[in-house]
Amino acid sequence: MDNASFNGDINGSERAKKRRRSNEHSVKEGEKAINIQVVVRCRARIEREVAANSPIVVQATPREIKVWANSQDMMPYKTFTFDKVFGSDADQSRIFDTIVIPILQEVKAGYNCTLFAYGQTSTGKTFTMEGKLDLSNGTMSPDAGVIPRSLYYIFDTLEAEQADFSVKISYIELYNEELKDLLSSDSDNRQLKILDDVNRKCVLHGHEEILIKNAEDGINVLKQGSIKRQVAQTNYNKNSSRSHSVFCITVHIKETMPDGEDLLKVGKFNLVDLAGSENISRTGAENLRAKEAGKINKSLLTLGRCINSLNEHNQHIPYRESKLTRLLQDSLGGHTKTCIIATISPAKLSYEETISTLDYAQRAKNILNKPVANQRVTKKALIKEYIGEIERLRADLLAAREKNGIYLSQDTYQNLVDENQIFQEFKHMMLSVTSQLESKYNEIKSVHIGFGELIYNKTREFMERRENEISAIVKCIEERIDRSIQQKDQIIQIFDNQEQVTINLNTELSKFQEETQKLIDQKGQELRNNLSATFDTFQHELSNQFEKMRSYQVKFEEDISFLMKTAQDHIALQNQAIASFRSFTHETSNSQIDCMIEQKHLLTQLAEEDVLMRKSMEEEVLANVLETLKKYGDAHSAKIENVISTVQDTIQKNVDSVKSLNEACTNAADEMNTANTTYLVNFSNKYDASKENLSALENGNRLTRVDTIENSIYTQLDECKDVFKSKILSLDTFASAAVKESSELQRRHVQSFNSFAMDVTQGFSEFQKQFLKSRVESEIMTKNVFDLNQANTSAASGLYNNFANQVHQSREEISLIAEKFNDPDTKIRTPTTKRSHFLNITNLP
Ligand SMILES: Nc1ncnc2c1ncn2[C@@H]1O[C@H](COP(=O)(O)OP(=O)(O)OP(=O)(O)O)[C@@H](O)[C@H]1O
């Protein structure tokens, strides 16, 4: 089917609206929100993991998965809870029986259901979904996965129920964000596209849906498709899948209603095998692989982001950011029943990926879907859909024929020849019907012509009457216009008067302006003259002041030079005093030095004498120690006393001379001090007097002159003000006279307008009266025409009935041929479309 909705919605409009609202997670009446079912399957360690001696770090219980960071740890790192958990002991049939059979029952009940396999590469996604597809003696292998088991289950159960049903399958792949139909022939280059229908519902366009007769058929088709799947080699798994695949089983089951009408239930089952969710760098993927992995991740990342957004109840869910999420939008937060199988490895090697897969699955658990059963389809609607498809195929065929010719089998050719013959018969029939219709048409036309003439005459009569009335109204309006013109002239007159007043006012104003300008010029000139005289006087005064200042300056300079001279004399005196003090000091120092020398000499002499004395004493000691000692003592004491008194005299002399030096210094200093103080007092007195003289000169001069000038300017300004006041007074008088005149004019103006308005209103009411009269007559005329039309219609209806009978007869005949021609369109066309169809046929050659 060319344009199938991916989720099999036939009547999508209402449900598309609901789906858009479904992310609000509010349960609406008749819609029960249920969580997505999430189960975990943990396989046994595979060969590679055993060879690597990677210990088991995962333990599965019926509802929980425990994961250890290290196998020696006492406590698990994390415990996750899910709807169901399957350990390595769970075989394919257990998974199918526990998880898939309930889903298939929903599919058979007319729901859309989706089963995702999500997990790290080589954890068993493909094993779970497809498993071993080989059959031995028409029996499935125990390792057969969900898809083959589902096909068997559908056929076995429906056949056992003796149901009237059909099964179609499609198989598509999403690889590098490109869609590929795994069931189309290699020569079929049609691009698969996801389009939005009018309800913004994603519709997959251009993929094959194959009708299968039994489960084996389905498994063979699946096998062929699987071979086409893109696989890429990574470090982890030789057949590691790099693509996402969606295998879709659509079941149509006939149901007979109590009223006998046949309806079709449609259920869909999407089986999604996602690409490996592992981290790219850990797989060692490079170059093309990295690119591929990047693209794959885009879909997986978007799937994760959608899950997160749904989990956080966000307003916006980024479905449109990847093809995978666009395709499966209805399965995540929509109206589909959804189950996710998260597959994991028990080995420590995959510890991080296992935690990431389980976190992902945990988040998905919170997504709410609101499953709604697909609306039953009537047989008629389905047949109509098929007829549409046949039409499209026929158009394709026609297009193919119009090219350079195509190969046709003998049977098809014969069929075409037969069909052509039937078509020729049909065409002749059409032509005869058309000629009958033509004669009926001419009959009706002549009746219509008669009716038209009648209408024309009545209308002309009416128009003539109307013309007379209108010309009366026009005359009345013309009279009004004449009167209005007269009033307009009056108004123009008033405007002219008003203009004259304005001109007068303007003249007065310009006169006032001129006089004011003159006055300003005159006063300006006077002010300028007065100011220049004042400035002359001021200049003269200033030069006098400068003269005085100069004489003061001369005197000041004289005072300064006097002070300088006094200072110089004083300094010379001081120099003299210093020189005499220096010579006195020199003398005193010299006499002191002499004194010192003398003292030194005396002491030397004393020492020498002492030595001599000691020598004689040594000699005398020997004779008479005691006497000698006494003698020596007396002599020595006398000598010492003598020297001391000499030294004391000398020191006294020194003290006296220093004292007199001190006195002389003090006197000299006192003298200098007195002289300096006198000099400073003189200088300061002179300076203060000069300063006072200068400032008195300056102050007195400035105050006198500025006051004089200010007074003169103020006097002149006052004079000007008086003149302006008198001018403004006279302008006021004139303006109030002008305003009075203007208001008089305005009053007259308003009066004139009022009378004009009254006249126009009167004219209008007369016109209205006339118009109402015309309208009444118009209505009478319309009624007459309507009666006439009624009479004509009843006359024509006989003819039309006759015509309809003939058309009916023709339709019967055409149906007979159409049945042979198998043209479903003919049956459903309305008489109107049929008429246009006939008219077209008359144009045929
Ligand atoms: N439950 C299981 N019992 C027995 N063998 C299993 C089980 N699960 C997986 N295997 C085996 O593990 C290997 C990898 O499984 P499979 O190819 O299904 O992984 P995958 O997740 O689909 O990987 P990829 O993402 O690369 O497609 C296969 O040889 C498969 O037979």
For ligand 1, whether the C-beta of 239 sits within 6 Å is yes
Give yes or no for a contact between 98 and 337, defined as CB atoms under 8 angstroms apart: no
Asked whether the CA dihedral 184, 188, 194, 199 is positive or negative, the reply is negative
Q: How far apart are CA 136 and CA 154, in angstroms?
A: 20
For ligand 1, whether the C-beta of 86 sits within 6 Å is no
* Average pLDDT value for residue range 492-500: 73
Maximum mean pLDDT: which of 54-63, 498-507, 546-555, 822-831? 54-63
Compute the distance from residue 351 Cα to the ligand 1 centre, in Å: 17
Q: How far apart are CA 540 and CA 546, in angstroms?
A: 10
Pairing of strands 337-344, 37-42: parallel
Q: Centre a 10 Å sphere on the Cβ of residue 562 and count the other Cβ atoms it contains.
A: 13
For ligand 1, whether the C-beta of 127 sits within 6 Å is yes
Angle at which helices 215-228 and 146-160 cross, to 10°: 160
**pLDDT at site 793:** 65
Q: Which two tokens stand for residue 75?
A: 């406590």
Q: Cβ neighbours of residue 49 under 8 Å, at least 6 residues apart?
A: 345, 347, 349, 350
Confidence of residue 804 (pLDDT cuts 50, 70, 90): low
Compute the distance from residue 46 Cα to the ligand 1 centre, in Å: 9
For ligand 1, whether the C-beta of 46 sits within 6 Å is yes
Compute the distance from residue 125 Cα to the ligand 1 centre, in Å: 6
Residue type, 556: F
Q: What is the 3-state secondary structure of 8-67? A: CCCCHHHHHHHHHHHCCCCCCCCCCCEECEEEEEECCCCHHHHHCCCCECEEECCCEEEE
pLDDT tens-digit series, residues 411-449: 667 667 777 777 777 767 777 777 777 777 777 777 767
ipTM of the complex: 0.98
Q: Which two tokens stand for residue 215?
A: 């489960």
Characterize 513-531 residue by residue with b for buried, 16 or more Cβ atoms within 10 angstroms of its Cβ, and e for exposed: eeeeeeeeeebeeebeeee
- 421: number of CA atoms within 13 Å, CB side? 6
Of the given ranges (87-91, 360-364, 387-391, 395-399), which has the lowest mean pLDDT? 395-399
Give yes or no for a contact between 236 and 281, defined as CB atoms under 8 angstroms apart: no
Pairing of strands 193-196, 244-256: unpaired
Burial of 57 per CB tally in 10 Å (0-12, 13-18, 19+):
buried
Give yes or no for a contact between 485 and 754, defined as CB atoms under 8 angstroms apart: no
Please name the residue whose Cα sits nearest to atom 10 of ligand 1: 124
Residue type, 82: F
451 pLDDT higher than 90: no
Q: How far apart are CA 128 and CA 98, in angstroms?
A: 13
Compute the distance from residue 123 Cα to the ligand 1 centre, in Å: 5
pLDDT tens-digit series, residues 553-564: 777 677 767 766
For ligand 1, whether the C-beta of 126 sits within 6 Å is yes
Q: How far apart are CA 820 and CA 422, in angstroms?
A: 7
Pocket test for ligand 1, best of 41, 94, 237 (most atoms within 8 A of CB): 237
12-31+92-344+364-372: CATH class: alpha beta
For ligand 1, whether the C-beta of 243 sits within 6 Å is no
Which stretches of 275-329 are DSSP H helices?
280-283, 287-311, 323-327
Of the given ranges (108-112, 362-366, 828-832), which has the lowest mean pLDDT? 828-832
Q: Centre a 10 Å sphere on the Cβ of residue 475 and count the other Cβ atoms it contains.
A: 10
Query: Distances in Å between the alpha carbon of 398 and those of 386, 402, 405, 824?
Result: 18, 6, 10, 18
* Average pLDDT value for residue range 93-113: 95
**pLDDT at site 154:** 97
Q: Counting atoms of ligand 1 from 1, which one is nearest the CA of 239? A: 26
Give yes or no for a contact between 339 and 103, defined as CB atoms under 8 angstroms apart: yes
Q: Centre a 10 Å sphere on the Cβ of residue 698 and count the other Cβ atoms it contains.
A: 12
Pocket test for ligand 1, best of 39, 85, 123 (most atoms within 8 A of CB): 123
Give yes or no for a contact between 370 and 27, defined as CB atoms under 8 angstroms apart: yes
Q: Cβ neighbours of residue 201 under 8 Å, at least 6 residues apart?
A: 5, 7, 9, 12, 16, 19
Confidence of residue 838 (pLDDT cuts 50, 70, 90): very low
* Average pLDDT value for residue range 669-691: 67
Confidence of residue 17 (pLDDT cuts 50, 70, 90): very low
Write the DSSP string, 761-772: HHHHHHHHHHHH
**pLDDT at site 662:** 60
For ligand 1, whether the C-beta of 148 sits within 6 Å is no
Q: How far apart are CA 327 and CA 334, in angstroms?
A: 12
pLDDT tens-digit series, residues 711-751: 766 676 677 667 667 766 776 676 667 667 666 766 666 67
pLDDT tens-digit series, residues 359-394: 989 988 888 888 888 878 787 777 787 787 777 777
Please name the residue whose Cα sits nearest to atom 16 of ligand 1: 124
1 pLDDT higher than 60: no
Angle at 221 between CA 218 and CA 227, to 5 degrees: 140
Compute the distance from residue 657 Cα to the ligand 1 centre, in Å: 133
Q: How far apart are CA 118 and CA 115, in angstroms?
A: 10
Give yes or no for a contact between 36 and 365, defined as CB atoms under 8 angstroms apart: yes
Of the given ranges (253-267, 270-284, 303-317), which has the lowest mean pLDDT? 270-284
Q: How far apart are CA 240 and CA 242, in angstroms?
A: 6
Q: Cβ neighbours of residue 246 under 8 Å, at least 6 residues apart?
A: 171, 172, 173, 174, 270, 271, 272, 327, 328
In 3-state terms the chain splits into helix, strand, coil percentages (rounded to 5) of 70, 10, 20
Identify which has the larger pLDDT, 476 or 756: 476
Maximum mean pLDDT: which of 96-110, 381-395, 773-787, 796-810? 96-110
Q: What is the 3-state secondary structure of 322-381? A: CHHHHHCHHHCCCCCEEEEEEEECCEHHHHHHHHHHHHHHHHHCCCEECCCCCCCEEHHH
Please name the residue whose Cα sits nearest to atom 8 of ligand 1: 124
Angle at which helices 351-364 and 287-311 cross, to 10°: 40
Q: What is the 3-state secondary structure of 791-845? A: HHHHHHHHHHHHHHHHHHHHHHHHHHHHHHHCCHHHHHCCHHHHHHHHHHHHCCC
Please name the residue whose Cα sits nearest to atom 2 of ligand 1: 43
Helix H or strand E encompassing 212: strand 210-212
Residue type, 538: F
Q: How far apart are CA 684 and CA 695, in angstroms?
A: 16
Compute the distance from residue 146 Cα to the ligand 1 centre, in Å: 14
For ligand 1, whether the C-beta of 123 sits within 6 Å is yes
Compute the distance from residue 774 Cα to the ligand 1 centre, in Å: 95
Q: How many residues does the chain have?
A: 845
Q: How far apart are CA 292 and CA 778, in angstroms?
A: 82
For ligand 1, whether the C-beta of 295 sits within 6 Å is no
74 pLDDT higher than 60: yes
Compute the distance from residue 238 Cα to the ligand 1 centre, in Å: 11
For ligand 1, whether the C-beta of 276 sits within 6 Å is yes
First to last CA, the chain: 37
**pLDDT at site 19:** 37
Give yes or no for a contact between 337 and 114, defined as CB atoms under 8 angstroms apart: yes
Compute the distance from residue 171 Cα to the ligand 1 centre, in Å: 20
Q: Centre a 10 Å sphere on the Cβ of residue 329 and count the other Cβ atoms it contains.
A: 22
81 pLDDT higher than 90: yes
Q: How far apart are CA 401 and CA 407, in angstroms?
A: 9
Q: Which two tokens stand for residue 492?
A: 């123009």
Give yes or no for a contact between 5 and 197, defined as CB atoms under 8 angstroms apart: yes
Compute the distance from residue 47 Cα to the ligand 1 centre, in Å: 11
Please name the residue whose Cα sits nearest to atom 1 of ligand 1: 43
Locate the DSSP E strands across 70-192: 78-81, 84-86, 112-119, 135-136, 139-140, 165-175, 178-181
Confidence of residue 646 (pLDDT cuts 50, 70, 90): confident
Identify which has the larger pLDDT, 375 or 753: 375
Please name the residue whose Cα sits nearest to atom 3 of ligand 1: 43
Quote the DSSP letter at residue 737: H
Compute the distance from residue 126 Cα to the ligand 1 centre, in Å: 6
Helix H or strand E encompassing 161: none
Torsion of CA 422, 423, 426, 431, to 10 degrees: -140
Q: How far apart are CA 599 and CA 587, in angstroms?
A: 18
Compute the distance from residue 5 Cα to the ligand 1 centre, in Å: 32
Burial of 245 per CB tally in 10 Å (0-12, 13-18, 19+):
buried
Q: Which two tokens stand for residue 278?
A: 């592992």
233 pLDDT higher than 50: no
**What are the beta bridge partners of residue 347?**
56
Confidence of residue 511 (pLDDT cuts 50, 70, 90): confident
Q: How far apart are CA 759 and CA 490, in angstroms?
A: 14
At residue 233, what are phi and psi to the nearest 5 degrees? -90, 135
For ligand 1, whether the C-beta of 346 sits within 6 Å is no
Give yes or no for a contact between 283 and 236, defined as CB atoms under 8 angstroms apart: yes
For ligand 1, whether the C-beta of 338 sits within 6 Å is no
Quote the DSSP letter at residue 293: H
For ligand 1, whether the C-beta of 43 sits within 6 Å is yes
Q: Counting atoms of ligand 1 from 1, which one is nearest the CA of 240? A: 26
Q: Looking only at Cα atoms, what is the longest distance across the chain?
A: 209
